[in-house]
Amino acid sequence: MGLISQQIKEFLDVQKLGYVATVSDDNSPNLSPKGTIIAWDDDTLAFADIRSPDTMRNLEHNHLVEINVIDPLLRKGFLFKGKSRIIKSGQIYNEILNHYRNKGIKSPINAIVLVDVFDITEVVSPLYDLGSTEDEIKSKWKKHFQEL
């Protein structure tokens, strides 16, 4: 069994926004939101290059990547570290492209980034350290977002 558990796969199926961190040629950080992060198998994440010129340029020179996906209401999630591979054709590309199309993604997809995950860390808000429960935190953030 790989690093990506069934629980994490289900979490990624529900959460629709994550952040991908890369490093540019001049060693400056790049953080880019992605709405297509999926667990492709027990060891691999994938996301689509829809409008990601900086991310893609960075990954061509430095394949290391971090991906952070957090539930905005529960303030819990996961940090994934891995090594990327960019694919633009082939069987896996077509399978993932079909997956996105079946999920309703209509945007042009320039490439698919596969991330071979080598480390996963659970991310948990410090509010839990203070004794807050999931229900209390979820209620607080639901109220916050409704007031916007």
CATH number of the domain encompassing residue 87: 2.30.110.10
Asked whether residue 1 is domain-assigned, the answer is no
pTM for the whole thing? Answer: 0.94
pLDDT in tens, 22-49: 999 999 999 999 999 999 999 999 999 9
Total of domains in the chain: 1
pLDDT in tens, 108-127: 999 999 999 999 999 999 99
pLDDT in tens, 77-101: 999 999 999 999 999 999 999 999 9
Asked whether residue 88 is domain-assigned, the answer is yes
Question: 10 Å Cβ neighbour count for 15?
Answer: 16
Chain-wide mean pLDDT for the chain?
A: 96
Percentage of the chain beyond pLDDT 90 is 97
Query: Collapsing DSSP states into helix, strand and coil, what is residue 136?
Result: helix
